[in-house]
Structure 1
Amino acid sequence: MPDREAVLAQAIPFDRDRWISRLPDPAWWPVALDACPRDGRWQRVDRRTVFRVAESADSVEGRRHLLVASLVWGSGTKALTVDRRARIFADPAAAADIDARLTAALGTLRTHGPVEAYRALKSGQRIRFLGPAFFTKVLYFAGHDGGADPRPLILDSVVSRALRKAGLVDGGWPNNGWTPLQYERYLEGVCAYAERRGVLPDQVEAALFACGKRV
């Protein structure tokens, strides 16, 4: 089980120029990422930095920065991966729609918790090309240390592999596209286990991710 410091220090390389060229406007870029350290060719952004970006998510600009920072942290530097994640910005006219949907979903996170926010982003507030593997990253950074109950967690295909490998879910558990009920069960299981171990839920999520990478 990684300690919390190791979780917060989990860093992913990113290509700043490639991302900025795909945003609706350079102002969508979170300037906090410009201070990230360079390791060889690429800068690297860690969870701690994205949490700092999330502290300003009470404004339209702040929510834009949180969305972009979450995408950057989850994508790495491969051109194909970045291009796939940046498809949500392909239509510049969609910026206002993204703002409205993200504002509504994060408002739901604050008032009704992560499962209802997940439900919103899966249905009524769905942002085109933003699936659960990445919108749970947004929810995680917006709410894990921000008082949400239960604490939101990232759920992606790597974590899902670990859940199946450990026998923590049934054989019908999908690799992606989880229902709100499945997300709720995931949160309940991880948060209960974290409480028994005296750790934070994202330490368990990080351990599951590391396990899933080895499967």
Structure 2
Amino acid sequence: MPVLPDDACLPDREAVLGQAIPFDRARWTSQLPDSTWWPATLDECPRTGRWPQVDRRTVFELARRADTAEGRRHLLVAALVWGNGTKVRSVRRSARVFRHSTRADLDARLYEALVVLREHGAVAAYRALNNDQHIPYLGPAFFTKVLYFAGHEGAAAHHRPVILDSVVSRALRAAGVVGADWPDNGWTTAQYDRYLAMVHESARARGVLPDQVESALFSYGKRV
């Protein structure tokens, strides 16, 4: 059974990279350990109306600098900013990541997870962040964003990480490719492995990249 329903619209890659989310700089900087955690690149984002907007392309740009502790901090912050929008409650909820771990622990766990991603692929990195390298209050819906930005563009085709969140899960259930008991969050490593296999197979069949399938699922999940 195809992972995408017939009425799901598959975006081109430029549309995926251009997916932009508004953010409030002041809300984020007030929650970070100190000012060095804020990526200066986000200050260059274009403003639409009241808020600046960060797109996937910008976060990928930051991910290419994640070979240092500061670069990995900036990747984490940018992935959270892109994934949250401007709601005060959402920002504060995600910012618990910074309040419940030391800087050294965050640095160590991010480093280890990205080493696993590079050397063993997306499923192994998911297992790491869901277990031994778990960061308190950084659940799968957000750490798959970190893995996606860190590894989707540079990984071998069968190792490309893809985002999994509650909206995508709703789309999977609506499309009938998973059962009604498929959770909205807290997926096991086996479930992420299954999801990744479905997305990659659909991408190969359509001649596109896996994040185009993920983006189509997200859009479909918003409608159903």
Offset, 1:146: 1.2
Q: CA RMSD in A?
A: 0.9
Aligned to 1:105: 113
Aligned to 2:70: 61
The normalised TM-score by structure 2 is 0.94
The normalised TM-score by structure 1 is 0.98
Aligned to 1:167: 176
Indicate the structure whose relative CO is greater, using CA pairs within 8 Å and at least 6 residues apart: 2
Alpha-carbon contact 1:150-1:191 (below 8 Å) kept: no
Alpha-carbon contact 1:150-1:188 (below 8 Å) kept: no
Q: Which amino acid letter does the alignment assign opposite residue 181 of structure 1?
A: A
CA separation in 1, counterparts of 2:193 and 2:125? Answer: 11
Aligned to 1:131: 139
Report the 3-state secondary structure (helix = DSSP H, G, I; strand = E; otherwise coil) of the residue aligned with 1:139.
helix
Offset, 1:12: 0.1
Report the 3-state secondary structure (helix = DSSP H, G, I; strand = E; otherwise coil) of the residue aligned with 1:212.
helix
Q: How many residue pairs align between the two structures?
A: 214
Bigger CA drift: 133-142 or 25-34? 25-34
Runs of 5+ in structure 1 lacking a partner?
none
Aligned to 1:120: 128
Q: Deviations over 1:96-118 (max 9, x none)?
A: 10100010000000011010100
CA separation in 2, counterparts of 1:170 and 1:156? Answer: 16
Aligned to 1:50: 59
Q: Deviations over 1:98-153 (max 9, x none)?
A: 10001000000001101010001011000000000000000000000012432100
CA separation in 1, counterparts of 2:201 and 2:188? Answer: 20
- 1:184 and 2:193 matched: yes
Bigger CA drift: 166-175 or 152-161? 166-175
Alpha-carbon contact 1:57-1:63 (below 8 Å) kept: yes
CA separation in 2, counterparts of 1:56 and 1:108? Answer: 17
Report the 3-state secondary structure (helix = DSSP H, G, I; strand = E; otherwise coil) of the residue aligned with 1:196.
helix
Report the 3-state secondary structure (helix = DSSP H, G, I; strand = E; otherwise coil) of the residue aligned with 2:21.
strand
Alpha-carbon contact 1:29-1:68 (below 8 Å) kept: yes
Aligned identity (percent) is: 67
Aligned to 1:20: 29
- 1:204 and 2:213 matched: yes
Q: Which amino acid letter does the alignment assign opposite residue 104 of structure 2?
A: A
Offset, 1:172: 2.0
Offset, 1:63: 0.3
Runs of 5+ in structure 2 lacking a partner?
1-9
CA separation in 1, counterparts of 2:98 and 2:119? Answer: 28
Offset, 1:168: 1.0
CA separation in 2, counterparts of 1:126 and 1:146? Answer: 23
Q: List 4+ stretches of structure 1 deviating above 3 A.
A: none
CA separation in 1, counterparts of 2:155 and 2:171? Answer: 27
Q: Which amino acid letter does the alignment assign opposite residue 21 of structure 2?
A: I
